[in-house]
Amino acid sequence: MKFPPFFRPIFRRGSLLLALAGCVFLSGCWWNMDGHQSTMDPEGPVARTQLDLFYVTVWVTLVIFIFVGGVLAYATIKFRARTEADEHAEPPEQGHGNPFVEMGLIAGSVLALVIIAVPTLRAIWSTYDVAEADKANAYDITATGFQWWWKFEYPKEQTAPDKYGARSVVATANEMVIPAGRPVHIELRTMDVIHSFWVPKLAGKVDMMPNRGNRMWLEADHPGYYWGQCAQYCGDSHAVMRFRVIALSEKDFADWLANQKQNARTLTVPNEAKVEKPQVVFASWKTNQIGFSNDELEVSPLDAWRAKQFPEKDEDPALIAEGRKLFQAKTCAGCHNIRGHDGVGIAYPDLTHVGARTTIAGGLLENNTENLTRWITNPLAVKPGNKMWYEGYVKNNIKLTPDEISALVAYLQSLK
């Protein structure tokens, strides 16, 4: 596009102002990149190594940008057309290049590639698996991706015998609890399509491939509550396939593990107890994105998780007992397992201690009465395409009344 001579200085100054404004705006974004899933705020050695590599690439490309941009700006200013005659002048005689300049550019490009390649290879080797010196101290976990939730197994930890005398490995869903300050070796598996395991503040993305084992490791510098996400498109509810990583001190982790090994809580119901059925307020449902805004939390996410490990103060044993009966009668036990109570399901989340988790629905909703009621009533509306709806509700023609939902919610929340 050709501008009249009068507008050219204005256009140049305007472009410069826009460029400066863009730099100021982007610099503000850069320094505020500290959200829950920000890779710019690492809290573990793997994430820190990957961020350092990112900065190496940024600085090398910045130098290239300044050099190329400077040469372009110099040539544009020095050889610009200053008069109307210059605009229509014949182009100067064209040469075939300068061998010294060309060889210099090739050497500079090779040097830039080497500067980036060396730390890249070192990072790949160091982040692929736990270092040999640390393997003896590494903790093992198996993570399995499903559409659309996560299963975490602790292969070296055995549960207490269930009511049939059988033992199994400790397993939980959507919340992976790890010891802080200790490397964690994770075997990655998938039961259906390709998923990708990603905890931005602790480690980068690693794919879970069908019929192929993969692995990674991570470590949390200190106790904390970290957000994870599936980073590979895997179907209808890929965007809401989330999980959490909770890093605890060695003592707190040992206490949590000891509780996870136990069978589900069983409350004693007094003979004279009557079932108190709370009123379900459907109109108040709303998505609760726990911890996505610190301004909305009265306590830290880690403190909220700790509070969930203890029984509720206003438990209703009679209502909980009715919920346990409904869990079996409504065929929930065909898909889910509650160790020590009922259930034979292994392809769906283990609910033995579901009341102690801060999230439900594959890490999407905060685990509270309102959201659990919403999830049980219509899981399809919360997470499109989920198998709980099609394989459970539709296939088994499950119908639930508000009172039955209240009982089921009370029962599940009691499982600490």
Q: What percent of the chain has pLDDT over 90?
A: 50
Which is it for strands 359-360 and 365-366: parallel, antiparallel or unpaired? antiparallel
Q: How would residue 94 be classed by pLDDT, with cut points 50, 70 and 90? A: confident
* The predicted structure's pLDDT at residue 84: 77
pLDDT digits (tens, 9 = 90+) for 36-81: 888 888 999 999 999 999 999 999 999 999 999 999 999 888 888 7
Q: How would residue 10 be classed by pLDDT, with cut points 50, 70 and 90? A: very low
Average pLDDT, the chain: 84
Q: What percent of the chain has pLDDT over 70?
A: 85
Cα Rg for the chain, rounded, in angstroms? 29
pLDDT digits (tens, 9 = 90+) for 379-397: 898 899 888 888 888 888 8
Query: Which domains are seen in the chain, by residue range?
Result: 36-75+100-261 (2.60.40.420), 282-413 (2.60.40.420)
HSE at residue 10, side-chain half, CA atoms within 13 A, is: 5
* The predicted structure's pLDDT at residue 112: 92
* The predicted structure's pLDDT at residue 413: 94
pLDDT digits (tens, 9 = 90+) for 292-302: 344 455 568 89
Task: Report which of residues 122 and 93 the model is more confident about.
Answer: 122
pTM score above 0.85: no
6 exposure class (CB count in 10 Å sphere: 0-12, 13-18, 19+): exposed
Strand partners, 360: 365
Collapsed DSSP state (helix, strand, coil) of residue 270: coil
Collapsed DSSP state (helix, strand, coil) of residue 202: coil
Is it the case that residue 190 has pLDDT exceeding 60? yes
pLDDT digits (tens, 9 = 90+) for 149-170: 999 999 999 888 877 777 889 9
Q: Which of 87, 109, 127, 100 lies closest to 3, judged by CA?
A: 87
* The predicted structure's pLDDT at residue 26: 57
